[in-house]
């Protein structure tokens, strides 16, 4: 009978074989208790008087040396205090280190210590400051406040990771751009969301280059995690493209504004929704929410804001997309809507509608009943597709109206178009099949929430000092849990209970 040896057993066997070799030569080995070799790694205020007001004491473990500054420092060229065991040799990034000389802690640092007997240890030196998130500095010309959603302000932007726990490539020196407010109800909140526009395509953090970006405030979401979690579900789906985003600290004209989600906007382009210059991006919206320069078309049931390309009323492009959405709706609600050759599936992409519907239903997204932020796209000769996803700050039980805080009950199913599709057994069967897929993905989603929660924990605390939202009633949210951990736990509990209810109520077999 064969048995499998565990890795530790194999490692022990290899060591035993080495000890029984024909030579007495000892092979230097990596030690597992670095605290014996590295006795201290600190940043002393006395050695860095122009930067530090207080000492930073490094935490030394068997995997890393961790240094943390609770405040933002003017620069990161600092002189470390390093104490080693007697006779120990030290290298930083492969070079001998001259004690009491400054080190750039914005760059990755690897410390290697070698004992007199030849044993050695490598340890990364991890340095972070403030909340550990990248810091975005947005400064307008003459520090004039950004007060308009329609008029851009001239400004500059720079990004600093503040340490070496994020890639150095994320740092960006000051660049010019234009900035204005964005959003509808979110613009009315004290913490403002912003739209950024560069003169040429510019990458931010690890996201590909584009001209326009959004800084989402997530003021009504005490976890700050709802939109990023929905976007994660989108990346698990069949939707064609999902906006990328990163949590950052935002300073506007020198004032800390708290935690923001810096993310890509829904735009056609090579690095965004790559569907071709002749394709159309639409948003189902409401007349009361439109800007003065928006161009829209209205069917019997929906208003379609034409986001891209720019068209004029009465132009060929406008008439084409107006006719296309009317055709889709007329066929969907027509007598032959189930016909395999002439029915709605000839014009509408079933897979994208199913996944878009499910993600919005699973999260019980209040606006997804074809009220607002419901995006579609279509290229000439192709089918109308749903997506990308957008705007989930009032999802996951974060809204009082419409019983949206209750995990039971269908909600998005009642939306125009979607309610009609529920009369199609092919659509319902696809909904069940894809729901089972998302149910299998739940452990990944919970892991994402936990990972992101730890990432932004300190940032949410700093945000709370500015905006004091944890115990505030916004007039739209039902629950107030009072602290970050309880808020995150509610999101996970709501998701779990919601999935259980949907699992029990989405038909497993369909016969119309």
Which of the four pLDDT bands, split at 50, 70 and 90, describes residue 223?
Answer: very high
Instruction: Give the whole-angstrom CA distance, residue 98 versus residue 214.
Output: 45
pTM more than 0.85: yes
Class of residue 236 by CB neighbours under 10 A (exposed 0-12, middle 13-18, buried 19+): middle
CA angle 77, 80, 84 (to 5 degrees): 150
Q: At 457, is the secondary structure helix, strand, or coil?
A: helix
pLDDT in tens, 437-478: 999 999 999 999 999 999 999 999 999 999 999 999 888 889
Residue 376's contacts (CB-CB under 8 Å, 6 or more residues apart) are: 281, 282, 283, 284, 304, 384, 385, 386, 387
Q: Answer whether 28-127 and 280-505 agree in fold.
A: no
Q: Let me know: does 236 contact 441? Beta carbons within 8 Å.
A: yes
Alpha carbon distance 275, 243 (integer Å): 14
CA distance 135 to 69: 14
In contact, 10 and 56? CB cutoff 8 Å:
no
* Exposed / middle / buried, residue 94 (Cβ in 10 Å: 0-12, 13-18, 19+): exposed
- Is 50 exceeded by the pLDDT of residue 257? yes
Distance CA 457, CA 453 (A): 6
Rounded to 10 degrees, what is the CA torsion of 457, 138, 182, 247? -20
HSE, CB side, 13 Å, CA atoms: give it for residue 208. 9
Cα separation, 122 vs 34, whole angstroms? 8
Q: What is the pLDDT of residue 512?
A: 59
C-alpha torsion angle, residues 403, 404, 405, 408 (rounded to 10): 80
Token pair listed for 233: 């579900």
Which tens digit of pLDDT belongs to each residue from 106-123? 999 999 999 998 888 899
Among residues of the chain, what percentage have pLDDT more than 90? 87
d(C-alpha 111, C-alpha 481), whole Å? 44
Q: Please state which CATH class domain 280-505 belongs to.
A: mainly alpha
Split at pLDDT 50, 70, 90, the class of 131 is very high
Give the pLDDT band of residue 10 (cuts 50, 70, 90).
very low
User: What class does CATH assign to 28-127?
Assistant: mainly beta
Smallest CA-to-CA distance from 410 within 428, 433, 389 is with: 428
Do you know the residue count of the chain? 512
All structural domains of the chain with their residue ranges: 28-127, 135-217+241-264, 280-505
Confidence band, pLDDT 50/70/90 cuts, at residue 28: low
Is the peptide bond between 71 and the residue preceding it cis, with omega within 30 degrees of 0?
no
- Is a pLDDT exceeding 80 seen at residue 25? no
């Amino acid at each position: 009978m064969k048995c499998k040896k565990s890795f530790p057993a194999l490692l022990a066997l290899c060591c035993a074989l080495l000890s029984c070799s024909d030579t007495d030569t000892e092979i230097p080995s990596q030690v597992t208790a670095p605290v014996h070799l590295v006795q201290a790694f600190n940043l002393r205020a006395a050695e860095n008087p122009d930067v530090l007001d207080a000492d930073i004491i490094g935490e030394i473990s068997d995997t890393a040396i961790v240094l943390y500054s609770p405040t933002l420092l003017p620069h990161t060229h600092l002189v470390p205090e390093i104490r080693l065991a007697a006779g120990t040799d030290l290298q930083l990034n492969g070079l001998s280190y001259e004690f009491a000389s400054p080190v750039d802690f914005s760059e990755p640092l690897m410390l290697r210590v070698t004992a007199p007997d030849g044993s050695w240890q490598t340890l990364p030196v991890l340095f972070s400051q403030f909340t550990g998130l990248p810091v975005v500095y947005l400064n307008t010309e003459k520090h004039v406040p950004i007060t308009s959603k329609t008029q851009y302000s001239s400004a500059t932007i720079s990004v600093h990771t503040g340490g070496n726990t994020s890639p150095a490539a994320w740092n960006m020196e000051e660049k010019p751009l234009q900035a204005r407010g964005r959003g509808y109800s979110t613009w009315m909140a004290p913490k403002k969301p912003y739209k950024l526009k560069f003169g040429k395509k510019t990458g931010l953090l690890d996201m590909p280059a584009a001209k326009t970006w959004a800084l989402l405030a997530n003021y009504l979401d005490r976890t700050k995690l709802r939109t990023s979690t929905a976007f994660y579900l989108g990346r698990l789906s069949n939707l064609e493209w999902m906006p990328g985003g990163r949590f950052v600290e935002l300073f506007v004209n020198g004032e800390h504004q708290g935690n923001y989600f810096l993310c890509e906007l829904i735009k056609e382009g090579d690095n965004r929704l790559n569907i071709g210059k002749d394709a159309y991006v639409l948003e189902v919206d409401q007349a009361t929410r439109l800007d003065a320069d928006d161009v829209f078309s209205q069917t019997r049931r929906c208003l379609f804001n034409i986001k891209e390309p720019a068209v004029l009323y009465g132009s060929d492009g406008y008439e084409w997309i107006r006719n296309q959405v009317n055709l889709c709706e007329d066929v969907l609600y027509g007598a032959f809507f189930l016909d395999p050759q002439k029915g709605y599936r000839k014009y509408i992409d079933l897979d994208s509608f199913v996944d878009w519907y499910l993600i919005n239903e699973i999260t019980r997204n209040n606006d997804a009943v074809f009220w607002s932020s419901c995006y579609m796209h279509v290229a000439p000769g192709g089918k109308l597709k749903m997506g990308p996803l957008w705007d989930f700050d009032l999802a996951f039980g974060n809204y009082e109206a419409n019983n949206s805080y209750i995990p039971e009950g269908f909600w998005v199913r009642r939306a125009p178009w979607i309610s009609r599709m529920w009369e199609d057994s092919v659509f319902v069967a696809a909904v069940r099949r894809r729901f089972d897929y998302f149910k299998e993905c739940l452990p990944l989603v919970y892991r994402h929430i936990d990972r992101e929660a730890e990432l932004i924990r300190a940032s949410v605390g700093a945000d709370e000092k500015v905006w004091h939202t944890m115990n505030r009633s916004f007039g739209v949210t039902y629950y107030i849990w009072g602290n970050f951990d309880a808020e995150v736990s509610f999101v996970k509990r709501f998701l779990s209970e919601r999935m259980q209810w949907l699992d029990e109520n989405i038909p497993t077999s369909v016969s119309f």
